[in-house]
Amino acid sequence: MASMQTSPNIIVGLDIGTSKIKAVIGELSPNHIEIRGYSIVPSKGLRNGVVINIEETKRSIRTAMEEAQSFAGCQVDCAYIGITGSHIKSISSHGVITINNEVTAEDVQRVTQQAHAGKYSLTEEHMLHVLPQEFTLDMQEGILEPEGMAGKRLEVKTHIITASQSAVRNIEKCVLSAGLAKSTPVLAQLAASEAVLSDDEKELGVCVVDIGGGTTDITVYRNGSMQYTAVLPIAGNYVTNDIAIAFNTPTDSAERIKVQYGCAMPSLIKEDFKFDVQRVGEREPFALGQRLLSEVIRPRMEEIFENVEARLKQDGFSKEMFGAGIVITGGSSMIFGSVPLAEEIFDMPVRIGVPKSDVLSGGLVHEVNHSELATAIGLLLYAHQNFDLDNPGYVYVTPRAKGPGFFATLGSRLRRLKNWFSASF
């Protein structure tokens, strides 16, 4: 490993899930991210996104990094890591400052900082993101990019995302033990949504449902920005357990048949294909039909979608708010029939979200183009938007220091690119 190529612009998007760890290595340059390698390995030591066994988690992350680095042929010491779990909190906040006739980038940063000052416990919570929703300049509401505009009083409405300090520290400890000296925690839902959504969908209103192994993460975008997030402790592992119990088969065999033959809608099965299944404690396998398997899967997938619908309703969302419908992603969205089932339950258009972006390049782009990798790819996209191109290699920048961060305005982004070019050539 010591002789492997290293570069300060090569980083890893690390999605430490409840059932799998996904590591995607990318090389960042101003206009694109070249995918260099990736790995998907079983995850041990986490429950619902939170570390419950630190040694097992460290081992799983080390395995993921060894595989991904060997694939990419390079060593990485900088990670963007996805953070999720029921400890995530989102608070709506408001900041106001007076300015000197014209809004500068510093004013935008100052008003955003003002919005989150004193809004959460510094000892218990880690501030992940301050997401500006809209600015008001004097009496003019609904401004998305106030920089350069004239006025006296600048207000901002923001959405603050925090995570439990201890949950973030434990993940960072595990990541450090895999040789990743620099790490930046990012809300996993934010990363996944950025990877799968188009700007139009964010504008029209859309709900992203990331169905993983242990948790189902809900994220709502409206008027171009993230407005809401929630985590439900029910996902694909429940489906696997149902199969294991219904057919008295070991969990790994239940997982295998789910992925290979599973279907969320029995009515989609035209020919009842039969396959062999191992029974616990018995040598002889038995023949199971795809339709019966599907009848066990459907109620649990239905329950997941119904829980999402109930949670959205409880928190004040109605169908009319989602002009662009629902986007499902995460490993469990890949089960055959999940889209028509979700459409039946939500009574809205549903599509599968796969990671897509014009900035991704390299021969591996088509290989990583599936929903299981949405968060890991989204972490690379996040890194690309926030990477300090003026100072490659120095990337441990807290969202606080970066101000609007992920939602950096187009103008400021172009300027950073320009600076990068003038510093390099």
Ligand X SMILES: Nc1ncnc2c1ncn2[C@@H]1O[C@H](COP(=O)(O)OP(=O)(O)OP(=O)(O)O)[C@@H](O)[C@H]1O
Residue 372: CB minimum distance to ligand X, A:
5
Task: Please say which residue, 41 or 395, places its beta carbon nearer to ligand X.
Answer: 41
Task: Please say which residue, 163 or 296, places its beta carbon nearer to Mg ion.
Answer: 163
Residue 236 found at the interface with Mg ion (CB under 5 A)? no
Report what 85 binds from Mg ion, ligand X, none; CB cut-off 5-8 Å by kind: none
Task: Please say which residue, 25 or 235, places its beta carbon nearer to Mg ion.
Answer: 235
For residues 371 and 374, give the distance between their C-alpha atoms in angstroms, rounded to a whole number: 5
Residue 84: CB minimum distance to ligand X, A:
6
Residue with tokens 């993921």: 64
Residue 303: CB minimum distance to Mg ion, A:
19
Report what 26 binds from ligand X, Mg ion, none; CB cut-off 5-8 Å by kind: none
Number of residues in contact with Mg ion, rule: CB under 5 A? 2
Residue 202: CB minimum distance to ligand X, A:
21
Task: Please say which residue, 20 or 202, places its beta carbon nearer to Mg ion.
Answer: 20
Q: Which stretch binds Mg ion (CB under 5 A): 51-59, 73-81, 206-214, 350-358?
A: 206-214
Report what 372 binds from ligand X, Mg ion, none; CB cut-off 5-8 Å by kind: ligand X
Residue 331: CB minimum distance to Mg ion, A:
7
Report what 159 binds from ligand X, Mg ion, none; CB cut-off 5-8 Å by kind: none
Task: Please say which residue, 233 or 392, places its beta carbon nearer to Mg ion.
Answer: 233
Report what 355 binds from Mg ion, ligand X, none; CB cut-off 5-8 Å by kind: none
Q: Which stretch binds Mg ion (CB under 5 A): 26-34, 154-162, 173-181, 207-215?
A: 207-215
* Tokens standing for residue 385: 């938007």
Residue 17 found at the interface with Mg ion (CB under 5 A)? yes
| 3-state per-residue secondary structure call for the chain | CCCCEECCCEEEEEEECCCEEEEEEEEECCCCEEEEEEEEEECCCEECCEECCHHHHHHHHHHHHHHHHHHHCEECCEEEEEECCCCCEEEEEEEEEECCCECCHHHHHHHHHHHHCCCCCCCCEEEEEEEEEEEEECCEEEECCCCCCECCEEEEEEEEEEEEHHHHHHHHHHHHHCCCCEEEEEEHHHHHHHHHCCHHHHHHCEEEEEECCCCEEEEEEECCEEEEEEEECCCHHHHHHHHHHHCCCCHHHHHHHHHHHCECCHHHCCCCCEEEECCCCCCCCEEEEHHHHHHHHHHHHHHHHHHHHHHHHHCCCCHHHCCCCEEEECHHHHCECHHHHHHHHHCCCEEECCCCCCCEECCCCCCCCCHHHHHHHHHHHHHHHHCCCCCCCCCCCCHHHHCCHHHCCHHHHHHHHHHHHHHHC
Task: Please say which residue, 335 or 408, places its beta carbon nearer to ligand X.
Answer: 335
Task: Please say which residue, 136 or 240, places its beta carbon nearer to ligand X.
Answer: 240
Task: Please say which residue, 11 or 46, places its beta carbon nearer to ligand X.
Answer: 46
Residue 419: CB minimum distance to ligand X, A:
36
Residue 45 found at the interface with Mg ion (CB under 5 A)? no
Among 37, 205, 212, 325, which residue sits at the site for Mg ion (rule: CB under 5 A)? 212
* Tokens standing for residue 148: 């350069």
Task: Please say which residue, 136 or 193, places its beta carbon nearer to ligand X.
Answer: 193
Report what 20 binds from ligand X, Mg ion, none; CB cut-off 5-8 Å by kind: ligand X
Report what 335 binds from Mg ion, ligand X, none; CB cut-off 5-8 Å by kind: ligand X
Task: Provide the edge-to-edge strand list for the sheet that holds 10-16.
Answer: 182-187, 78-83, 10-16, 20-28, 33-42, 360-361
Q: Which stretch binds Mg ion (CB under 5 A): 34-42, 61-69, 204-212, 394-402?
A: 204-212
For residues 13 and 77, give the distance between their C-alpha atoms in angstroms, rounded to a whole number: 11
Which residues here bind ligand X, judged by CB under 6 A?
A: 15, 17-20, 43, 49, 212-215, 235-237, 240, 255, 258-259, 262, 330-332, 334-335, 372
For residues 25 and 35, give the distance between their C-alpha atoms in angstroms, rounded to a whole number: 6
Residues of this chain that interact with Mg ion (CB under 5 A) are 17, 212
